């Protein structure tokens, strides 16, 4: 069974690129390309010197990778905290229910 693909044209730092993706991924690809283009333009515009496109792309990739890893660590820490609080809450509920059962007897 073959997947239907569509060709998507994007512009990154003034250069045109074409990518193939499934129709369902098209909007996400365009959003990702827009985000990457914005990051690349920020780096190029804020550098005091003229950087090669490859250098701009590498710096943008490193910055985005750093942001992703930081968000993943934050999500992991949040999940652990919520899990701990949920276990604590369940223990309290169990204790109240156990006490209620003992009082009924």
Q: Is the pLDDT of residue 1 over 60?
A: no
Q: Which domain holds residue 41?
A: 6-104
> 43 and 56 in contact (C-beta within 8 Å)?
yes
Quote the pTM value. 0.73
Flag whether 1 is in a domain.
no
pLDDT tens figures, 5-59: 999 999 999 999 999 999 999 999 999 999 999 999 999 999 877 889 999 999 9
Cα-trace Rg, the chain: 25
Does residue 54 form part of some domain?
A: yes
Q: What tokens appear for 20 in the block?
A: 């193939």
Cα 15 from Cα 12, distance rounded (Å): 5
**Tens digits of per-residue pLDDT, 60-105?**
999 999 999 999 999 999 999 999 999 999 999 999 999 888 887 6
Total of domains in the chain: 1
């Amino acid at each position: 069974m073959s997947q239907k693909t569509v060709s998507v044209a994007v512009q990154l730092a003034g250069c045109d690129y074409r990518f193939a993706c499934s129709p369902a991924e098209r909007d996400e690809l365009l959003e990702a390309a827009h985000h990457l283009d914005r990051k690349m333009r920020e780096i190029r515009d804020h550098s005091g010197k003229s950087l090669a496109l490859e250098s701009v792309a590498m710096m943008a990739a490193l910055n985005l990778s750093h942001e992703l890893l930081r968000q993943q660590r934050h999500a992991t820490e949040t999940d652990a905290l919520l899990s701990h609080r949920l276990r604590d809450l369940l223990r309290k509920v169990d204790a109240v229910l156990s006490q209620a059962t003992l009082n009924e007897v």
